[in-house]
Amino acid sequence: MYRLKKILARFKLSVLRKRQESAPITIPDDIIAARHILILLPPGQRELTMIKDLLPDITRVFSGGEIYILASPGSTVYNIFPRKGYRIMTPTSQHLDWSGLPRGNYIKSLKETGFDVLLDLNLGINYFSQAILLSFSRALKIGRGNHLGTPYYNLEIKSRYIRDEKNIYKSIITTIDRIKNPATIEAG
C-alpha cells in the first residue's frame, strides 16, 4: 500500500511539474519586499530542534514580515516551537489526499495568504513540501542547492557543509541575510 501511495504521489508531482510556469524574480528586491514568508519544516524531530535554534536569525532576516511555519503532516511542533511571533500550521489528515499530497482546498487556503517567499528547509525528499512549492509559481522559492532544483526552487543556496545539518541550515539563513543586507556585510 505504501509503495502504491508513493508511486501515485510521484505521478501527481510530475503532472504538477509539467504545468509549472516560471515567474521572473528580482534579487534582492523580492527578499526585501517579502511580507508573508512560509517556512516548510522537515519531518524529523532532530532537524526541528536545530531549526528552532535558528528562529531568532530567521526573524531578524525577515523582519517586517509575517512568518508562517508549516510542519510536515503528522509532525508535532507545538511543543518545540514558540507560538509568539509565528503562525504555526500543521496539516491534518483532512488536508491530505490518499497519496499524502495536499488537497486542492488546502492549497487554495494557503494561496489566500499570498506568500511572497517560501523557504524549504527539507534536506531530504518530502513529497508534501514539493507539492506546496509547485503550487506557488509567483513566489520566491528558496531551497538547498543540488537538492530539487527548478521548477521547485528559483533560488538555490549551496552550502560547503555536506552532512552537518545544523551548519547547512545556518549557511542558508546567513546567505539570505547577505543577499538582503549587503551593507551590513561590507561594514562588518
Does residue 187 sit within a domain?
Answer: no
Which cell is 30 given?
523580492
Does residue 136 sit within a domain?
Answer: yes
Which cell is 155 given?
533560488
End-to-end CA distance of the chain: 55
- CB within 8 A of 146, min separation 6: which ones? 156, 158
Does residue 188 sit within a domain?
Answer: no
**Tens digit of pLDDT per residue, the chain (188 long)?**
778 888 889 999 889 888 887 778 888 889 888 999 999 988 877 788 788 888 889 989 998 889 998 888 877 766 666 666 778 888 888 999 988 899 999 999 999 999 999 999 988 888 999 999 999 988 999 998 888 888 888 889 988 887 788 889 999 999 999 998 886 554 44
Q: What is the CATH number of the domain that holds 66?
A: 3.40.50.2000
Q: Nearest CA to 35 among 111, 114, 110?
A: 114
What residue numbers bound the domain in which 103 lies?
Answer: 2-20+29-182
Answer for the pair 115, 68: CB distance below 8 angstroms, yes or no: yes
Does residue 110 sit within a domain?
Answer: yes
Which cell is 105 given?
482546498
Does residue 12 sit within a domain?
Answer: yes
How many residues belong to the chain? 188
Does residue 119 sit within a domain?
Answer: yes
Number of domains in the chain: 1
Query: Quick one: pLDDT at residue 95?
Result: 92
Does residue 124 sit within a domain?
Answer: yes
